[in-house]
Amino acid sequence: MNKNRFRKPLAVATGFIFLCAAPGLTRAQSGPRGPAQTANVASSGPQPKKNSLPPDDFAGLTYSDAQKAEIDKIHQVTKAGKDAVVKDERLNADQKDAMLQGYSRIEYGQVYKVLTQEQQIQVRQRVQARREAEQAAQKQSPQR
């Protein structure tokens, strides 16, 4: 039952990715664009900001073979989505950054769902400790 809940959103997300990627493919095949449109492609694509993603809260966990396979599938789907966003010339840098962060959040949530109850507790404890440390650092920085 848990797999069925995972497969439907994954299929919807994959379909959305292909729908978004398909118009870009047809435009690329139709021929060269005008100089005004190609001038917007100055960079190879934005990279997420260093502080925009959480540290690896899953580091140090021991996964079963089934978990490893499921997590690898999640990473592959997410990577394909991120690659499509980076290659999409219709999005500006802020939009690409927001989409990449969104894909990372989705990936984080999907990997979390694959974990066992004990592993989820460990991850929640790490997240809580990290947030408490960030709050303590924020309280100290205005005093300086």
The per-residue b/e assignment along 24-54, b for 16 or more CB within 10 angstroms, e otherwise, is: eeeeeeeeeeeeeeeeeeeeebbeeeeeeee
Residue 56 lies in a domain: no
- Of 12-21, 45-54, 124-133, least confident by mean pLDDT is 45-54
Residue-number span of the structural domain to which 110 is assigned: 63-133
pLDDT tops 50 at residue 17: yes
Q: Give the mean pLDDT of the chain.
A: 77
Domains of the chain: total:
1
Residue 71 lies in a domain: yes
Residue 36 lies in a domain: no
The pLDDT value given to residue 3? 62
Residue 57 lies in a domain: no
Residue 29 lies in a domain: no
Read off φ and ψ for residue 103, nearest 5 degrees: -60, -40
The pLDDT value given to residue 58? 87
Q: What is the pLDDT of residues 87-109, one digit of tens each?
A: 999 999 999 999 999 999 999 99
Residue 92 lies in a domain: yes
Is the pLDDT higher at 89 or at 6?
89
Q: What is the pLDDT of residues 69-82, one digit of tens each?
A: 999 999 999 999 99
Q: Which stretch, 15-19, 22-26, 30-34, has highest mean pLDDT?
A: 15-19
Maximum Cα–Cα distance across the chain: 59
Q: What is the pLDDT of residues 33-54, one digit of tens each?
A: 444 443 444 444 444 444 444 5
Confidence band (pLDDT; 50, 70, 90) for 56? confident
Residue 113 lies in a domain: yes
- Report the candidate in 66, 83, 93 with the shortest Cα–Cα distance to residue 3: 66
Residue 6 lies in a domain: no
Is the pLDDT higher at 141 or at 12?
141
